[in-house]
Amino acid sequence: MGEEHTAGFRKQQRYINGIDGLRAIAVLAVLAYHLQLPFAKGGLIGVTVFFVISGFLITRILLTESDTTGTIDLKNFWIRRIRRLLPAILTMLAALIFASAVFNRVLFTKACSDLLSAIFCYNNWWQIFNNVSYFENAGAPSPLTHCWSLAIEAQFYLVYPLILMALSRLKEHRKLIPGVTALLALISAALMWILFDPAQDPSRVYYGTDTRAFSLLFGALLAMASEHEKELNILPSTVRDGLGLAALIGILCIAGFVDGYSSFLYKGGQVLVSLLSVVVIYAVLNRRSLLGAVLGLPPLKWIGDRSYGIYLWHYPIILLVSGGKKSTWWMILIEIMLTLIFSALSYRFIETPVRHGIIGKSITTITSRPRSRRERRHAVHVLKKAMKACLVTFAVTLSAVLCVIFVPKEQALSNIEDLEAQAQAAGETAKEKAQQTGDDSSAADDAQQGSDDSSAPKTDEEILADLHLLLIGDSIALGAADDFYAIFPNSICDAAISRYTTESYDIYDSYVNNQGWNGDGVIFALGANGLMYDSLPTLRERMGPDTPLFIMTARAPYTTWEESNNQEMREFVEAHDNTYLIDWYAASEGHSEYFESDETHVNSTGAQAFAECIRDAVLPVYKVDK
């Protein structure tokens, strides 16, 4: 997240005033997003801005080296990248292992499972392909989830220099470099657009190197264009500043008002943010840029210099302090202060010395032959410091390894096996009940036709028992399936693990069209696993106006969409006839005894309360009808 501006080549272009300020804005947006501040709904686009900056700076360094020496020293380049990225990551990981082992075993367990992927920079593909259990992500996510972006940058550093070097050797075809880079960027952007499906888990698109590389490549294209400074100066300084300011305002507006899980971001929004970032960098490339001067102000430069450390430290600190839930203002201040302190210490004592080659310089000093007493004393002094540093590093590493091996692990949920078994059984039960629904409905119609109008009114229990409802839910509803059937014995509870809201209408269609279900109403009990998208209007349209629809609010305190989903549900109920609210969020407020340790899934007490919440909302509707 923070590449240095200079390499070992004296022909390197001047320092760009304003890049650090843009980097500061990007990391502050990410920080505000993870703190769930209301003005940073789309703050995760700060990562996209980082990608563009890194692509620009790295390509600039590589092109300068290629022009200066006629080649690219890949070994030296990769060593510099390792020195820049790895020491800070290892320091953060060691601190995280110790802190989580003592204070939060659930986070410790998740961190241990992601440890190697963070160190060796394949965390993004680990999250995509390893099929990590949904239950491992219950409650607060892994404290190393944010390492996915570092993995993409590292993979870019590994592959793109090889492409540049291969194309550079074709001297007569060197003009192919911008064309190939542009083609790769377009392919990457197209893959994000094509592969995104709001009805599916977006992790493949969000974390994939192939679907995110376009941001880095757009930065690389700007670096190639900046080699021809005369062409960049076609526009007057004021016009360039105006364009840069407008682009920066556009980035801030998207970060502030566009939800981070909106389809817009996958259908061109991320590309737009990347292009706006390119325009901002283009503006500050001007030596007389007023925007560059503003972005280069000391406070922004200070944050920008430490942005890599801030990015590394902020997420584990937030999860350790508040669990990733919305916090009070004073808790937020504590999290910000701890982030700044640890990132400043990392920058001062880890990142800067290692980046400036303290290890190599120390080895050279120790192994050299002193020519004077002063040089001998200096060598002894360096040797003592090196030995202390090695001992501390060894002790910390050994302690962290022992923690990973011997400290007991703890999962977010204690009933994982029960829920997994229940998920399998629930599917079979739902199919059986669906087959019985048609026969039961016909029998009930016949009985109704032959019944006497003077028959005694039904009790509440009889009304509920006669209902044929279809509940479409996720793992939270799954945990309450038995209690649901105890109240609604002739209804169907179709609940599954990690179900998205957009799956609801296809499930409804399957019951109606394939299994002949023709029941009394539908209960929508989703919303904890992602945004609503168009699920409610689509489901309501397919059901028709005559079938009652019950919408159940969600309690998912570790997500960023809990509040927006619940608000959308309430507004939808108010705007549509024959649509009713089951307010589980309100009913469970202040009842920590209802939940497992992840504060989302229900225990036995919560399962009963969950089913009773449904009963209390459903009964008045059908009691009036009866």
Mean pLDDT, rounded, for 208-220: 97
Mean pLDDT, rounded, for 186-202: 89
Determine contact, residues 316/44, Cβ cutoff 8 Å: no
CA distance 473 to 508: 12
What per-residue confidence (pLDDT) applies to 10?
40
What per-residue confidence (pLDDT) applies to 303?
97
Mean pLDDT, rounded, for 395-417: 83
Q: Which two tokens stand for residue 337?
A: 């202060």
What per-residue confidence (pLDDT) applies to 2?
46
What per-residue confidence (pLDDT) applies to 109?
92
Q: With residue 181 as reference, give the H or E element that holds it.
A: helix 176-195
Residues 6+ apart with CB under 8 A from 601: 138, 413, 419, 475, 476, 479, 595
Share of the chain above pLDDT 70, in %: 88
What per-residue confidence (pLDDT) applies to 455?
59
Predicted structure pTM score? 0.87
Q: With the C-alpha atoms ordered 589, 560, 37, 324, is the resulting torsion angle positive or negative? A: positive
> Given pLDDT bands bounded at 50, 70 and 90, which one contains residue 170?
confident
Q: Which two tokens stand for residue 404?
A: 């990973």
- On the 0-12 / 13-18 / 19+ scale of CB atoms within 10 A, 558 is buried
What per-residue confidence (pLDDT) applies to 585?
97
Catalytic residues, which ones?
A: 475, 598, 601
CA distance 510 to 494: 12
Mean pLDDT over each residue of the chain, to the nearest integer? 88
SS3 170: coil
For the stretch 331-379, pLDDT in tens is 999 999 999 999 999 999 999 999 988 888 888 888 888 888 888 888 8
Between the alpha carbon of residue 19 and those of residues 16, 101, 231, 281, 344, the distances in Å are 6, 38, 20, 7, 19
Superfamily (CATH) of domain 416-443+458-625: SGNH hydrolase (3.40.50.1110)
SS3 535: helix
pLDDT higher than threshold 70 for residue 435:
no
Mean pLDDT, rounded, for 435-456: 53
CA distance 190 to 523: 37
Q: Residue length, the chain?
A: 626
For the stretch 12-38, pLDDT in tens is 456 788 999 999 999 999 999 999 998
Tell me which amino acid residue 461 is. Answer: E
SS3 297: coil
Which residues does residue 581 pair with via DSSP β-bridges, in sequence order?
A: 551
Q: For 201-297, where are the alpha helices, taking DSSP H only?
A: 203-207, 209-225, 229-232, 237-257, 263-264, 270-284, 290-295
Mean pLDDT, rounded, for 303-316: 97
Q: Which two tokens stand for residue 438?
A: 């048609």
pLDDT higher than threshold 60 for residue 206:
yes
Determine contact, residues 608/483, Cβ cutoff 8 Å: yes
Mean pLDDT, rounded, for 612-620: 95
What per-residue confidence (pLDDT) applies to 544?
92
For the stretch 250-300, pLDDT in tens is 999 999 999 877 889 999 999 999 999 999 999 999 888 999 999 999 999
What per-residue confidence (pLDDT) applies to 6?
40
> Given pLDDT bands bounded at 50, 70 and 90, which one contains residue 452?
very low
Mean pLDDT, rounded, for 227-255: 89
Mean pLDDT, rounded, for 575-587: 96
Mean pLDDT, rounded, for 188-196: 96
Mean pLDDT, rounded, for 476-482: 91
pLDDT higher than threshold 90 for residue 547:
yes
The angle that helices 358-367 and 373-406 make with each other, rounded to 10 degrees, is 130
What per-residue confidence (pLDDT) applies to 370?
82
Mean pLDDT, rounded, for 2-13: 45
Every domain of the chain and the residues it spans: 19-353, 357-411, 416-443+458-625
What per-residue confidence (pLDDT) applies to 439?
56
> Given pLDDT bands bounded at 50, 70 and 90, which one contains residue 413?
low
